């Protein structure tokens, strides 16, 4: 290990980041056989298996995942050394991936990222808009915005705040159907559904709304599409208050029904401690998401 070849380390890092020998070779300007030999050489020198070959993809083994953090720290240190040598030690650059639900990615992230861009123009943020929980341990994202506390002890999590969602409808819907205030008023009201398996219906019933499938005019399992249908006048739907307040033509309804409260967690992997660009994005997100607009 004293004679670790830097080219081999770069081969490991690029293969881990791209998940492909051919993509990593293109990034490094090498032929695929050359890069493959470098990966094999670092595995042989370390005496471990870093990747599993799954079809054309290269998937990190648990050992590879453990070593990736240290390899990235070495890469960051080498980059910082180069910057310092060229008099640019204050510069921060690179890509940081952020996973968030579709509605958070659409409505809350853009102004935060615009401010970050003004402060750190060298950082590019990749937004992964998905309602699925990204696997941070496998580096599907560097940072994730979640509404549940992560259970993995290897992850670093910060509770940003408790958010609130209420029920809303479009002005046109209220003009046509009246303004329901109480749970009793909701019995015959129209709603936009989230799924057809009864999970969303059961969730609404927890809030005292005695509804049935007959109350739903349509369904959308992605929140951004769900909100678009509410805006169109298809029925009542729940939305985070700060998003609803910034949406024209929307009216709060069912005022007497308790709001939906849920946490906003910011989660990252252990590289948060060693990567300055990830820390900068993490702190910018924490500051921006803490604001109840």
In DSSP notation, 12-41 reads HHHHHHHS-HHHHHHHHT--HHHHHHHHHH
User: SS3 of 60, please?
Assistant: strand
User: CB under 8 Å to 105, separation ≥6 — which residues?
Assistant: 127, 128, 129
Q: Distance between CA atoms of 132 and 68, rounded to whole angstroms?
A: 24
Give the residue carrying structure tokens 């979640």: 146
Q: Distance between CA atoms of 160 and 263, rounded to whole angstroms?
A: 8
Highest CATH level, class, for 6-85:
mainly alpha
pTM: 0.67
Per-residue pLDDT of the chain (293 residues; tens, 9 = 90+): 456 677 888 888 888 888 888 888 888 888 988 888 988 888 888 888 988 888 878 888 888 888 887 777 777 666 666 555 544 444 577 889 999 988 999 999 999 999 999 999 999 999 998 876 655 556 678 899 988 888 777 788 899 999 999 999 999 999 999 999 999 999 999 999 999 999 999 999 998 999 999 999 999 988 999 999 999 999 999 999 999 999 999 999 999 999 999 999 999 887 777 788 889 999 999 999 987 55
Q: One fold for both 94-160+263-289 and 163-261? A: yes
CATH 3.40.190.10, applies to 163-261: yes
Domain boundaries, the chain: 6-85, 94-160+263-289, 163-261
With beta carbons less than 8 A apart as the criterion, state whether 147 and 238 touch: no
Distances in Å between the alpha carbon of 263 and those of 48, 107, 157, 260?
A: 40, 17, 12, 10
With beta carbons less than 8 A apart as the criterion, state whether 192 and 229 touch: yes
Whose CA is closest to 67, among 143, 9, 147? Answer: 9
CATH architecture group of domain 94-160+263-289: 3-Layer(aba) Sandwich (3.40)
131 CA to centre of own chain? 8
Q: How is residue 236 annotated by DSSP?
A: B
Give the residue carrying structure tokens 């989230």: 194
């Amino acid at each position: 290990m004293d004679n670790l070849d830097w080219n081999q380390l770069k081969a490991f890092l690029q293969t881990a980041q791209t998940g492909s020998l051919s993509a990593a070779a293109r990034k490094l300007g090498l032929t695929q056989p050359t890069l493959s030999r470098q990966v094999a050489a670092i595995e042989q020198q370390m005496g471990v298996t870093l990747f599993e070959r799954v079809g054309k993809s290269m998937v990190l083994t648990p050992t590879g995942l453990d070593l990736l953090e240290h390899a990235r720290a070495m890469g960051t240190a080498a980059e910082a050394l180069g910057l310092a040598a060229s008099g640019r030690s204050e510069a921060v650059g690179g890509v940081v991936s952020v996973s968030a639900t579709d509605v958070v990615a659409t409505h809350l992230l853009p102004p935060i990222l615009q401010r970050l861009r003004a402060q750190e123009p060298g950082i590019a943020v990749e937004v992964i808009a998905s309602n699925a929980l990204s696997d941070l341990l496998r580096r599907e994202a560097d940072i994730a915005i979640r509404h549940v506390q992560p259970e993995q002890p290897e992850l670093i999590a910060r509770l940003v705040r408790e958010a609130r969602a209420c029920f809303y409808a479009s002005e046109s819907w209220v003009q046509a159907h009246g303004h329901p205030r109480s749970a009793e008023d909701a019995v015959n009201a129209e709603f936009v559904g989230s799924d057809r398996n009864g999970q969303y219906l059961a969730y609404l019933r927890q809030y005292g709304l005695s509804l049935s499938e007959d109350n739903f005019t349509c369904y959308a399992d992605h929140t951004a599409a769900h909100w678009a249908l509410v805006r169109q006048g298809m029925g009542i739907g729940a939305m985070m208050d700060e998003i609803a307040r910034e949406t024209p033509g929307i009216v709060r309804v069912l005022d007497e029904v308790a709001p939906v409260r849920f946490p906003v967690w910011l989660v990252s992997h252990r590289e948060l401690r060693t990567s300055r660009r990830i820390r900068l994005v993490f702190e910018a997100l924490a500051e921006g998401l803490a604001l109840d607009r």
